Structure 1
Amino acid sequence: MEDIKRKIAKGELKSVNNTKGKAPFWVKFDIITNLQNEPTGFVQCALCKAVLSYDSKKTGSSHLRRHLQRSCGGCGSGTGGGDRQQSVSDFLSFAKPPPERMKSEVANKCVNFCCVDIRPFETVAGAGFRELAQELINVGATHGRISANEVLPNPTTISRRCKMMASEMRGGTVEEIKQVMSLINIGMTTDMWTDDFRKMSYMAITCHYVTPTFKLKRKLLTTTCFPNHARTGDHIRKALQQQLVTVLGFDASIMNNVVWVSDQDASVLAALRPYRHLACQVHLYNTVLRHALNTDELAEAVPEVAETLLAVKALVRYLKQSGLASQLPTTVKQMAETRYNTVFLTLELIQSVHAELQELLQSRDESARLRNVSPDVLAFLVEFLRPFNDAQKELEGDKHPTLHLAVLWANKLKSHCQPDVADTPSQAVIRQRHLDWLTKTIEIQPLHKIAIFLWPKFNQLRMFTPAERTDIQQHVRILINRFRVGEVAAARWQEHTGQSDVSSAAAAGPAPKRRALEEVEKAWENVREESEDADEVQFYLSLNPTMEADGRDLLSWWKQHETTFPLLARLARMVFSVPASRSSSERAFSAAGRAIGERRTGLAPETVDAILFLHDAK
C-alpha cells in the first residue's frame, strides 16, 4: 500500500473521482488509475488518504464501508486515520434505522413531554422542535452519552440569545433592503393589534421588495409596542419614522420612497396622508360585505335572507356550546365580526353537512333550529359569495405579486353583481346591494392600472377606454424616463469625478458648484426626440407576449426580458414590490396571538418583537 502511495506522490499513478459508483459512500473514495485512466485495483479514502484494494468482481465493497465506519471513523486501526474523529454526517450516513423498541421509548418520552409541560401534541411535529431534536442527536453522536442539563441552556439565556439573533438577522435584512432601495422604491404594509391579556397595542411594519434577481421577498421588520392613548395620526406617523430611521437605520427620506398599504383605520390614514398610500383591497372587500350583508337592513328589504343568516349564526353557536360540532365530519366555524369572508365559509360548511345536521338535530328533537335556514337562500348565498372569497384569498397572498390582480377582480365582481334575468326578487336585491357598495368602495388607483399594464398578456389594456389607455401608457413613460434621467445624471457625475457610486463620490469631496442658470438651461435646452425603436413602451406594445402556464409568473417573464426592456423591467420590480393587501402584517399578529398566551403574559415587548421577527424569518 505504501508503494501505491509513493507512486501517486511521484505522479506515476493518479486518483480520480468514481463517477460510476451509485452508493453514497463512493463520494469518500477515489479510484487509483494509471496514466491511461485504467483502474489498478486500488482505491484511496478521500478523508484519511488510506489505500485499500478494490475489485468490483472479486472483493466487493463491504470492506470500504467498514473502513469509513471503524478505521476512518476514529477507532484507529492503523490505516492513517486513527487520530481523526468521525464526523456526524459520516456517522449518520451509515447509521441503521432505530429499532422499534427505541422508537416506542421515544414516543413515551414525547407523551411525557407534552403532559408534564402541558404542551400540544402537535409540538413534536413542529419544524423548530424537530430541528432541536436533530441537533441533540448530533451532539450525542459526536460527544457520546452526556446529561441534557449540560447542553440545554436556561430560559434567561434563551431570551437573551433570541434578542441577539433577531438583532443580527435584522441588520442583514435592513442592508439588503437598502441596496434594493438604491435603485427602486418598495412597498410596506402596517397594521395594529391589541393583545387579549394585558391590552397592550402593537404596530407591525412589513417590507415588500423585488430583488435584482426578480425574487419577491416579504420581511417583517419590527413589531413595536404602542401606547393605547397615543393612537392618533401624528403619534403613529412619528412612531413609523422612529422605527424606520432611528431604530432600523434607514435614510430619513425613506417615508417618501415607500408605497404604504394599510386598512382604512382613520388614525392610520391620517398618519400616512403625506405619503403614497394604497388601501388594502382585502379590507375594502370586507367593507363591501359588511355593509351589503347588514342583517338589520336586510330584514326590511329581504327578510328571508336575514332570517337565514341569523339562523345559521345561531345554529353554529348551538353546535359549539352543545358539543354536537365534534360529531360532524367538518370543523364548524363561526362568522367573525371583523372578517366577512367567514360568512361564506360558514354558509358553505352548513350547506355541505345539511343532511347530517338534519339527522343529528332530529335525534335530539332540535329540528326547529334548521327551520329558518332556507335551503334555496343558502345555496344562492354560497354561490354568490364564492367569487368574493376567491378574490380575498388571491389578493392577500405575499409569495407572488398581487397588485395587478386588483383591476381584474374589481371588474369580475362588478360583472358578477349585474342583474340576472333568472334571479328571484330577493336575489336581485342582494346583487344590487353588493354592486352599489362595490361602486362606492372599490377605487382603482393609477398604480393598479400600471400593474395590469405590466402583466404582458394584458398590456393592450382592453378593460379601459382609449383615453384611459393613453393616460396609463403616458404615465409609464414618465416613470421610466425618471430612471433614464437618473442614469444620465449618475453617468455625468462619474465622468466628472471619476467616481462610480455615491459613497466614493462622497469620499471625493463636495459636489461641484452649480451654475446660476443651470435649472433654466435644463428646462429649455434642446431635446432629442427618441425614435420608436428606442421607446420601450411602444416596443412592448408591439409584441405579442406569450407566458407559460397560467401566465401569472410575472417576475420570471420580466427577468427573461430585462435586457430587452431594461427600464420597464426596473419599473416592474418597483410596482410588483407593492402588495394588494396588508395581510402580511395582519398575519404577524396571528403568530403574536400564539406567542402571548395566558401563560406568557410577562413577555417584554422587545422579546415579543424578537420572537415574531425570527418566526417570520424562518
Structure 2
Amino acid sequence: MVNGTSTISNHVKNCLNKFSKPNNNKNLDDFVSKAAQVNVLAEDKRSITVACAKFCSFDLRPCSIVKGVGSSTLCQSLINLGYQHGQAKLGAPSVNLLLPEPTNVSRTVSQIAQEYRENLKNMLKNDLQSVKLIGNRHPYMLRTSLFNQSKTGENTRKKNFPLLSSYDIDPNHFHVVYISDNGSNLVCGLQGEVYLRYICLCLNLALHNGVDMCPSMENFIKSSQNLCTHFKRYEIDRKVVVSFVKFLSLFKVASEQLSADTTLTLHLVVPWFTKLKASCEPTDDEPILLIQFKNAVSKMLDEKIYLTSLH
C-alpha cells in the first residue's frame, strides 16, 4: 500500500545514499539553452592570428600551413580537449572559425617583425649612447672592441697595437700601412707610421686595378722600371712616357691634397673626382696604350669611389 509516509521514506533514503542517483535526474545545465558554438571575440581571433604568425616565423614554416589538413586536425583536437575539461560547457568552436587566412598571417608577420626591429633599435640606441667602440679592419676580418677611455691619439695607439699583436701582427717587425679617416685622434696616434686616407686608397685601387685590366700597361711599367739598367735594350717611346707621367701626376696631386692634415678635405672629394674623371677622357693625339689605360682607370674610379650626400 502506497501512502504519503512511504513516499517520504523513499525520498529520505535516496537523499541519504549519495551513490544511488536515479538515471533520469537532470543537471541544472540541462535546462539552460546552449548555442551551437561559442561566440569567438575579435580579440581572441587576433591572439590566434599573432600566435600563427609567430609559429610560421620562428619555426620557418609557410603561412599556408595554417590551412593544412594536418594542422587543422591538431588544433581541433586541442580545442576539443580544452572543451572536454573546461568549465563553460558551450559548443566547442570550430577550428575553421579560429585559424586565420595565410594572407592575414603573412601580414601579421610583417607587423610583428617591424615591432621587433623598433624594439631592437630602441635597445641599441639606449645601450650604445653610453658605450664607446673602436674598430679594426684587416683583410677578411673586422674587429670591434669596447673603448672605455677617452679617444685621444695616445690611447688610440695603445689600443690598436695590442690588438694587432693578438693576431701575430707586430707593428715593430712588419711593414704595416694604416688606412684611416681624418679623425684627429687617428692622425695624432699614427704619427711616425705609414698611413693613407680612405679616399687615397680608393684612388690607388683604381690605378692598380686599372693596370691589371690593361696587360699592355703592366708590361710597359715593368719596362720602365728597368729603364736605368736596360735603357738601350727596350724601345721606349719618349712621348708615351711623358704622356703617362702627365696623367699620373694628377693623381699624385689629388692624393696629396686629400691627405692634408691642416685643411679641410671633405669638400674636395667631388671636385677631384670630377677632375680625375675628366682627365680619363681620351684625345685624338694620345698613344693607343694611354687611351686603353684611361678607359680602365675611369671604370675603376666608378667602382671604387662611392659618392654620398655627405660629400
TM-score normalised over the length of structure 2: 0.39
Q: Which has the higher contact order (CA 8 A, sep 6+)?
A: 1
TM-score normalised over the length of structure 1: 0.20
